[in-house]
Structure 1
Amino acid sequence: MKNRSADALALSRSLLVAAALATACVAPGAFAGPTPAPANAYAYIGYPNDGQTVPAGKPFKVWFGLRYMGVAPRGVKFPNTGHHHLLIDVDLPPMDQEIPSDRNHLHYGAGETETMLELPPGKHTIQLLMGDDKHIPHNPPVYSKKITIYVK
């Protein structure tokens, strides 16, 4: 009888571990948009650089980079394309929903690959996130590293 209890406990633990592993393997795809992206695609910020200081009181250029995908305006549904969104002082939004449009989530739906940005003095983070023709992140999501800049 004692062996049955130990066997049942071991089986329960094995099932819990298997369920956790299955959830971990499925989760990234389950929380992404419906539009596929190449697995090797990535976005990056070409300028400014991480840790760089930019002058306060005047706009500075932010240059968007993208590899293994193309840029297309919003509303244009073409394979392996999307458009940039610049995230300012926020974390990545939910990957299965439309990217918000506000002062922290700037949309570049005309296919822009750079912008002029003016931020108040202080420490800021910026990050790129690609969106499909409907502003929803791709599957897998294509985004840049979050960088920190200083405005002085």
Structure 2
Amino acid sequence: MLVFFFLAFGVGAIWAIQPVINAGLARYTSSLVASTISFIIGSFVLILSVIIFHLLTKEPFRLEVLGQIKPIYYFGGVIGAAVVLSMTKIIPILGAGGVLSSAITGQLIMAAIIDQYGLFGAPRVTLNLIRIVGIVLLLIGVNLVIHK
């Protein structure tokens, strides 16, 4: 379990770099162009990864299942684009710490709502008093981080 914590921690650490890099690129282009470049490069890396994985494992592509998937599950790409674009715009205003602490607080609050109602097929986890206190502390903490 500890290994997965450190893996997630590392992902979070490098995730802090992405919006700053995209905002830097936006200074030369625009937020929309920078976000598009980010997604094009990311898409290229993922497509290459799928091809390499397929060649190494010989696992067949199962494209026939794409029509059977609920449309809501394709919305993740739209959300990703909105996140990258908005973070690219907001970094120059709030800074990396402000943007990421706000985003993570938003993620954790939405995660508590998803857990409470079992949305999108997630297992239900009751929103109890301890979790509510945690949310309040998150809101206090993010306000301390973005305070200038």
- Normalising by structure 2, we get a TM-score of 0.21
Larger Rg: 1
**Relative contact order, CA 8 A, sep 6+: which one is greater?**
1
Q: Greater helix share, 1 or 2?
A: 2
Q: Greater strand share, 1 or 2?
A: 1
- Normalising by structure 1, we get a TM-score of 0.20
